[in-house]
């Protein structure tokens, strides 16, 4: 096998490993993301529970970085404390290491089972939850398959005359090997993928265990850099937990490397084989970071907060789009297609604000504070101002200069603008009232009721994003999907109401106390979904896909 063919096979196997890891991660996020977020928020008050929850989430999401970003956003919103966030991240690192341990077993028989079962599940139904579960299972199968492919692709290295020279160089220069593995991990954006690559190569005898331990420490350094770099432009509070993880795990990996090179402990203490030694070194390091991180949590939190303050500009950050120059230029009014382009861009700004409002209102349902409530009300004021400007701008376009298509687009934008303003009003005038009532009376939903609301809200938020895409792209396929989702959501509402009344009949105290808020919230979300779905009607009507306000069968 030539060198170019070898690298092609190895690159393909590594690409499949990264893709499979992403498939599992996104599948879990789409199917169970809201449930996992709720679980994380509800268990972060107890330090041990925070560690266990972080580990469980990392195993489910196949990524400690995803957990770090999630916990960082919660800490930034004040939902969890900085110390609890750090402990959850420590647990996530251990969970990520345990995933590596699991994947080192011989799981080759699972490949055809996972591929067959997952594909069948994905293609046999249109239910989102089952399709995402099928995606997860297929991802697991591809993940195991990619490890086999990496092993097969690396076989020619056994006979390579160049490899021993490269290994000897890195063995004599462990700092370079440490930094190289850190860079590779950052490029992979996955410590799981990086450690699995090292394990596969070590199982073929291509990497000596001592060098493998050094590179595992480099993997941990590289992994600790990912979240801080991804959040470097985020608000300061969101960056505290990722920076704290870098200070603890990144600095810890450098300290452990120095100790390892100074004392040269026998790696046989970590296991009998090279594979076990590398994996156990990864697990032992993250367990050590957890043990050391508990007493150092307060110190690390103060240091990370100080670092974030020093690296953040002191002037207050501008509110979303408040300082952006207007794009509704009067000079374009004489050229309708230019003016409509400007109006479309302004409408998308309104869509962005509505999406933020729709996401934040549900966060307030779970953990409300006056600052968050006031901020949401200000967003609605911004929507009202932009709606008024856009409406007047569209009215000033000269009708005599517009073609029939221009006139239709103008009507679409005006209708969408009105609907978006109505959505903002529902969020602030209805749902925000429910939030205040829930806080005032200290009400709590039942676990089942909250999961139903979370799932319903997630579906509406997903449909909102579809509607915003339709407004720009005018894509008929997306428009059909949006209206079909409206019908599906109507059936979901009926099932939700039926289950809620069943809990009322059973005499659930919390169901009785929150009944009005529960049903009114479902009604408000359904009304929002209907308003957003109606954005698709002009596109479908133009293509003859509507029949008495209902979708025609696809031809």
Mean pLDDT of 46-61: 80
Residue 555: pLDDT above 90?
no
Annotation: CATH topology of 334-551: Methane Monooxygenase Hydroxylase; Chain G, domain 1 (1.20.58)
* Phi, psi angles (nearest 5°) of residue 549: 65, 20
Give the model's pLDDT for residue 510: 63
User: Are the C-beta atoms of residues 421 and 391 closer than 8 Å to each other?
Assistant: no
User: Are the C-beta atoms of residues 424 and 383 closer than 8 Å to each other?
Assistant: yes
More confident residue, 191 or 151: 191
- The whole-angstrom separation of Cα 41 and Cα 74 is 8
Residue 258: pLDDT above 70?
yes
User: Are the C-beta atoms of residues 210 and 177 closer than 8 Å to each other?
Assistant: no
455 to 31, 320, 323, 459: CA distances (angstroms): 9, 28, 35, 6
402 to 59, 126, 380: CA distances (angstroms): 57, 42, 32
Domain boundaries, the chain: 10-308, 334-551
Residue 42: pLDDT band by 50, 70, 90 thresholds? low
A 10 A CB-CB count for 338 gives 14
Residues 6+ apart with CB under 8 A from 462: 485
- Look at 49-63, 88-102, 134-148, 222-236 and tell me which has the smallest mean pLDDT: 49-63
pLDDT tens-digit profile of 276-334? 999 999 999 999 999 998 888 889 989 998 998 887 655 444 444 444 556 777 777 88
Q: Which of 333, 435, 427, 334 is nearest to 382 (CA)?
A: 427
Residue 269 CA, distance from chain mean position: 38
Residue 111: pLDDT above 70?
yes
Residues 156-161: contacts with CB under 8 Å, at least 24 apart: 156/1, 156/6, 157/6, 157/201, 157/204, 157/206, 158/204, 158/205, 158/206
Give the model's pLDDT for residue 316: 46
Q: What share of the chain is helix, strand, coil (3-state, %, to 5)?
A: 80, 0, 15
Q: Which of 201, 179, 167 is nearest to 13 (CA)?
A: 201
Alpha helices (H) in 62-162, listed in sequence order: 64-76, 82-103, 110-123, 128-153
Q: Which of 53, 23, 60 is nearest to 38 (CA)?
A: 53
Give the model's pLDDT for residue 236: 81
What is the sign of the dihedral through the CA atoms of 373, 374, 379 and 383? positive
Cα–Cα–Cα angle for 435, 440, 444, rounded to 5 degrees: 65
339 to 333, 388, 391, 417: CA distances (angstroms): 5, 16, 12, 15
* Phi, psi angles (nearest 5°) of residue 180: -60, -45
Residues 6+ apart with CB under 8 A from 371: none
Q: Let me know if 110 is exposed, middle or buried by CB neighbors in 10 A (0-12, 13-18, 19+).
A: middle
- pTM of the complete model: 0.57
- pLDDT averaged over the chain? 83
46 to 51, 80, 88, 370: CA distances (angstroms): 9, 11, 10, 25
Q: Let me know if 20 is exposed, middle or buried by CB neighbors in 10 A (0-12, 13-18, 19+).
A: buried
- The whole-angstrom separation of Cα 77 and Cα 71 is 10
| Beta bridge mates, 546 | 551
Residues 441-447: contacts with CB under 8 Å, at least 24 apart: 441/513, 443/510, 443/513, 443/514, 443/517, 444/510, 444/514, 445/510, 445/514, 445/518, 446/503, 446/508, 446/510, 446/511, 446/514
Give the model's pLDDT for residue 288: 94
| Beta bridge mates, 547 | 550
Residue 78: pLDDT above 70?
no
pLDDT tens-digit profile of 508-548? 656 666 778 888 888 899 999 899 988 888 888 887 776 65
What percentage of residues in the chain have a pLDDT greater than 90? 19
- Look at 174-188, 324-338, 369-383, 531-545 and tell me which has the smallest mean pLDDT: 324-338
- The whole-angstrom separation of Cα 296 and Cα 290 is 10
Give the model's pLDDT for residue 334: 80
Mean pLDDT of 455-467: 88
Mean pLDDT of 162-178: 87
Residue 550: pLDDT above 60?
no
User: Are the C-beta atoms of residues 137 and 4 closer than 8 Å to each other?
Assistant: no
pLDDT tens-digit profile of 259-276? 999 999 999 899 888 899
Alpha helices (H) in 174-235, listed in sequence order: 174-188, 191-203, 209-230
320 to 259, 275, 350, 352: CA distances (angstroms): 48, 50, 11, 9
pLDDT tens-digit profile of 481-511? 888 888 788 888 888 878 877 777 766 656 6
- The whole-angstrom separation of Cα 191 and Cα 196 is 8
Residues 6+ apart with CB under 8 A from 555: none
Helix (H, G, I), strand (E, B) or coil at 551: strand
């Amino acid at each position: 096998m030539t060198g170019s063919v070898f690298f092609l096979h190895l690159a393909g196997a590594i690409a499949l490993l990264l893709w499979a890891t992403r498939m599992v991660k996104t599948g879990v996020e789409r199917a169970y993301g809201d449930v996992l977020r709720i679980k994380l928020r509800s268990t972060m008050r107890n330090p041990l529970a925070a560690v266990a929850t972080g580990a469980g989430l990392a195993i489910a999401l196949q990524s400690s970085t995803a957990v770090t970003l999630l916990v960082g956003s919660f800490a930034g919103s004040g939902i969890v404390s900085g110390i609890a966030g750090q402990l959850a991240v420590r647990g996530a690192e251990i969970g990520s290491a345990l995933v590596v341990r699991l994947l080192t077993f011989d799981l080759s028989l699972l490949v055809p089972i996972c591929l067959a079962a997952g594909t069948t599940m994905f293609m046999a139904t249109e239910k989102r939850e089952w399709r995402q579960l099928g995606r997860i299972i297929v991802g697991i199968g591809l993940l195991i398959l990619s490890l086999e492919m990496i092993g097969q692709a690396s076989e020619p290295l056994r006979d390579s005359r160049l490899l021993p020279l490269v290994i000897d160089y890195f063995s004599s220069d462990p700092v370079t090997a440490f930094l190289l593995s850190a860079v590779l991990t950052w490029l992979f954006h996955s410590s799981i993928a990086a450690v699995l690559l090292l394990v596969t190569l070590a199982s073929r005898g291509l990497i000596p265990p001592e060098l493998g331990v050094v590179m595992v420490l480099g993997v941990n350094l590289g992994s600790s850099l990912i979240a801080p770099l991804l959040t470097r432009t985020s608000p300061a509070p969101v960056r505290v937990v990722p920076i704290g993880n870098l200070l603890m795990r990144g600095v810890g990996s450098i300290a452990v490397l120095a100790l390892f090179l100074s004392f040269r402990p026998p790696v046989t203490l970590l296991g009998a084989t090279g594979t076990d030694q590398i994996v156990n070194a990864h697990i032992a390091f993250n367990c050590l970071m957890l043990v050391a991180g508990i007493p150092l949590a307060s110190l690390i939190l103060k240091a990370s907060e100080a670092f974030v303050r020093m690296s953040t500009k002191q002037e207050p950050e501008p509110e979303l789009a408040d300082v952006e120059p207007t794009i509704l230029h009067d000079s374009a009014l004489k050229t309708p297609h230019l003016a409509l382009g400007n109006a479309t861009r302004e409408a998308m700004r309104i869509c962005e604000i509505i999406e933020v409002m729709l996401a934040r209102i549900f966060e307030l349902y779970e953990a409300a504070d006056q600052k968050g409530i006031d901020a949401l009300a200000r967003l609605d004021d911004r929507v009202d101002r932009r709606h008024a400007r856009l409406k007047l701008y569209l009215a000033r376009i000269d009708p005599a200069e517009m073609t029939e298509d221009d006139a239709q687009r103008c009507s679409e934008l005006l209708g969408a603008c009105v609907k978006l303003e109505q959505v903002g009003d529902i969020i602030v005038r209805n749902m925000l009232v429910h939030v205040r009532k829930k806080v005032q009376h200290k009400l709590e939903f039942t676990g089942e009721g909250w999961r139903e609301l979370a799932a319903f809200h997630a579906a509406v938020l997903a449909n909102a994003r579809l509607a915003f895409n339709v407004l720009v792209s005018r894509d008929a396929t997306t428009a059909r999907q949006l209206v079909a989702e409206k019908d599906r959501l109507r059936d979901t509402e009926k099932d939700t109401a039926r289950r809620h009344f069943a809990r009322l009949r059973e005499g659930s105290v919390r169901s009785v106390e929150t009944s009005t808020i529960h049903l009114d919230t479902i009604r408000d979300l359904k009304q929002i979904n209907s308003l957003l779905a109606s954005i698709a009607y002009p596109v479908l009507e133009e293509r003859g896909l509507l029949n008495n306000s209902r979708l025609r069968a696809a031809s």
